């Protein structure tokens, strides 16, 4: 489905991503972890073509997306929506319009300039907000919402694009544990219910363990771990983060674990 082969991105002499090869044969929820500067953001940015690789290839469903240009590249960018740490909403614009921005890639410039959206799109945007439990805020300006609510609007905007892949770059890094949990639950839902692949850069081990089917560990641009949450032991984590024996998991954890949430096992039981 998604294959990354010998992917490298160099900024001068610095290899931000260094000869990375990965293969995903089905949509799943993937966590990418690693210390600051390990190359997580650069990897995600290459996947949606915000950054051009120095060498290597990315192939999705048989198509080499690293070769796409112009309209094809824009269509690919609609197919893999991006969610950022700082939400990247238009602060003074209302929530529904922010969500409708998710359709920009397939609309004419004139329609966009005058904010002309088809009724069907407006209804769909409200349905998505409703599904994420924030329809009550639809008419408010984005800047009036809490950080957690803004990130949920950003997720709604991503879903509005109807993407095959959702790329989330540190989606909970600016949120308190309660909101972090809500946002991670939403990301998990859009994988579980819609079958979309979700790839999230995470700075906390407990979140990766709790929510992801597969975890990729990066260190200095290289993939040093690729396995299941169960395989992500403290020793492995120590290698990924390049820490010595004094490495403490608490330093890379949120308090999500202490909040009430169905575990993966319980989710599997229900399914
Ligand atoms: N546009 C750029 N120009 C030059 N160097 C860059 C650029 N973007 C990233 N880098 C460098 O590439 C390396 C990897 O950065 P990247 O942001 O991908 O890491 P990261 O794992 O996402 O870190 P963080 O968790 O701090 O965001 C770092 O050394 C960084 O300084």
Query: Ligand 1, closest atom to CA 34?
Result: 21
Q: Which residue's CA is the closest to the ligand 1 atom numbered 24?
A: 36
The enclosing H or E element of 224 equals strand 222-227
86 CB near ligand 1 (under 6 Å): no
In the chain, the number of structural domains is 1
Return phi, psi of residue 96, to 5°.
Answer: -60, -45
37 CB near ligand 1 (under 6 Å): yes
36 CB near ligand 1 (under 6 Å): yes
pLDDT of amino acid 229: 94
Cα dihedral: 111, 115, 121, 123 (round 10): -150
The enclosing H or E element of 168 equals strand 165-169
The pTM is what? Answer: 0.89
In sequence order, the 6+-apart residues with CB closer than 8 A to the CB of 247 are 234, 237, 238, 241
Question: From the CA of 163, how far away is ligand 1's center (Å)?
Answer: 25
Q: Identify whether the C-beta of residue 163 lies closer than 8 Å to the C-beta of residue 78.
A: yes
- Does residue 268 sit in helix, strand or coil? helix
Domain range spanning residue 51?
A: 2-270
Per-residue pLDDT tens, the chain, 271 aa: give them: 999 999 999 999 999 999 999 999 999 999 999 999 999 999 999 999 999 999 999 999 999 998 899 889 988 998 999 999 988 999 999 999 999 987 766 655 655 656 667 888 889 999 999 999 999 999 999 999 999 999 999 999 999 999 999 999 999 999 999 999 999 999 999 999 999 999 999 988 899 999 999 999 999 999 999 999 999 998 899 889 887 656 666 666 665 555 554 445 544 544 4
Question: From the CA of 15, how far away is ligand 1's center (Å)?
Answer: 9
CATH of the domain at 139: 3.40.50.300
Q: Which residue from 120, 132, 123, 82 is spatially nearest to 102, judged by alpha carbons?
A: 82
Handedness of CA 72, 75, 79, 82 (dihedral sign): positive
């Amino acid at each position: 489905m998604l294959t990354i082969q010998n992917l490298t991105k160099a900024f001068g002499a610095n290899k931000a991503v260094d000869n990375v090869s990965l293969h995903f044969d089905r949509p799943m929820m993937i966590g990418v972890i690693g210390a600051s500067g390990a190359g997580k953001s650069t990897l995600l940015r290459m996947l949606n073509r915000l950054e051009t690789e120095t060498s290597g290839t990315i192939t999705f469903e048989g198509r080499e997306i690293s070769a796409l240009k112009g309209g094809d590249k824009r269509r690919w960018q609609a197919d893999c929506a991006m969610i950022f740490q700082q939400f990247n909403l238009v602060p003074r614009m209302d929530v529904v319009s922010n969500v409708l921005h998710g359709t920009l890639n397939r609309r004419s410039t004139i329609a966009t300039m005058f904010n002309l959206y088809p009724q069907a799109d407006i209804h769909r945007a409200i349905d998505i907000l409703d599904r994420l439990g924030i329809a009550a805020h639809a008419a408010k300006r984005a800047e009036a919402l809490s950080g957690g609510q803004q990130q949920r609007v950003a997720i709604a905007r991503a879903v509005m694009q109807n993407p095959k892949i959702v790329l989330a770059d540190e989606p909970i890094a600016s949120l308190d544990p309660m909101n972090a949990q809500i946002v991670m639950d939403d990301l998990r839902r859009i994988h579980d219910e819609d079958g979309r692949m979700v790839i999230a850069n995470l700075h906390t081990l407990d979140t990766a363990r709790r929510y992801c089917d597969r975890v990729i560990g990066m260190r200095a641009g290289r993939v040093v771990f690729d396995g299941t949450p169960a395989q992500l032991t403290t020793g492995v984590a120590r290698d990924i983060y390049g820490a010595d024996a004094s490495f403490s998991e608490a330093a890379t954890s949120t308090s999500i674990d202490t909040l009430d949430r169905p575990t993966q096992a319980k989710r599997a039981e229900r399914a």
